[in-house]
Chains A and B, each alone.
Chain A
């Protein structure tokens, strides 16, 4: 039975690959507890992982003086994950379309595309300094009793 009560966790972590793994694992646990199905849980975990990679790699550039913050919340409607870094800021409109023929063979640049593919809503907010990504996955509407 999925847990429909509001639940929150906030992690403040170093700019490392280990932090990315921890954020991904936490996302997976929240998604499972929220009752998402076995196909959706890994997709949510991957989207959150990609957001954490962006924060650690492109935002904070592995700077040991900078941290990332990951906030997880489930409520009756949605799973909401916010990932923030302390980097120079990200303009999502400046990220090249990875599906464009001229970009298809690029070795990077697919993270934000995958986040958008797997989540229902993705919002970017400039923090000065830093960027916060908000990832939202809505729970399926409750089915009426048979």
Chain B
């Protein structure tokens, strides 16, 4: 199953609802393109909803990091929402859990953007 992205706006925040697998190839490229499209349209506050991400590999983790860095370098913020246990565990063992700003409530996450 490839990755799918649905985009919506809440209080000036762009929320990307991701579903499927973020893996080497199509999934990682889809995520990269989605983040770059949001930045290109001038939005710099991005919330990635990972609730329906069933699987992520090292390439997908790398793409999350690259997206985080791209948005930060553009003067924006990228936060993560609704991690599955699997993604949570992977971010823990790769020591990325404290790098990302991670939320389990959409309303709280949206409020946390400056």
Contact = CB atoms under 8 A, between A and B. Distances in A.
Q: Chain A, interface size: which category? A: 20 to 34
Secondary structure of the B contact surface, majority rule: helix
Interface residues of B, number: 22
A108 B62 contact: yes
Contacts, number: 49
Nearest to A110: B58
A53 interface: yes
Contacts of A98: 94
A146 interface: no
Interface string B83-103: 000100010011110010000
A106 B58 contact: no
Contacts of B63: 107
Secondary structure of the A contact surface, majority rule: helix
Interface of B: 23-26, 55, 57-59, 61-63, 65-66, 68-69, 86, 90, 93-96, 99
